[in-house]
Amino acid sequence: MESFESILNHLKAVKKKQGYTNAYLAEKSGIPVSTINKIFSSIIKNPKINTVIAISNALNVDITSPNIENKLNLLHNLANSYNLSNDDIEILNRYLILSEKNRRQFYLLLGILNNFNNDSN
């Protein structure tokens, strides 16, 4: 099973190669710098999947392999470790086949919906 640790190591390597600081990555991803610090120092061991997606998008990297079949296998493994439902997995499967532009638009829509839900409560 793919663990978040291997994804984190990949994100760390890309972040270092691109010369990004945690503050810059936070600004670019929309994730608070305190959360970025905790993720990259392994204080947060299982971050929310939307946080991982935001960070990977900010780094402009695909956290999965280039092969779509491997992407789907990795997604299922990650979904199991996050206890996602089959409906959640289907949404993520559809997300993976979107173009980068459409992924960003989808992510923005999720943020709007999340804010709407928070305002409604």
- Using only C-alpha atoms, the chain has a radius of gyration, in whole angstroms, of 14
Q: What is the mean pLDDT of the chain?
A: 80
Range(s) of the domain holding residue 69 = 4-120
Q: What is the pLDDT of residue 2?
A: 47
Tens digits of residue pLDDT in 2-14: 467 778 888 898 8
Whole-prediction pTM: 0.54
Tens digits of residue pLDDT in 56-65: 889 988 765 4
Comparing 18 with 116, which gets the higher pLDDT?
18
Task: Report yes or no: 53 and 111 within 8 Å, Cβ to Cβ.
Answer: no
User: In the predicted model, is pLDDT for residue 100 greater than 90?
Assistant: no
CATH number of the domain bearing residue 9? 1.10.260.40
Number of domains in the chain: 1
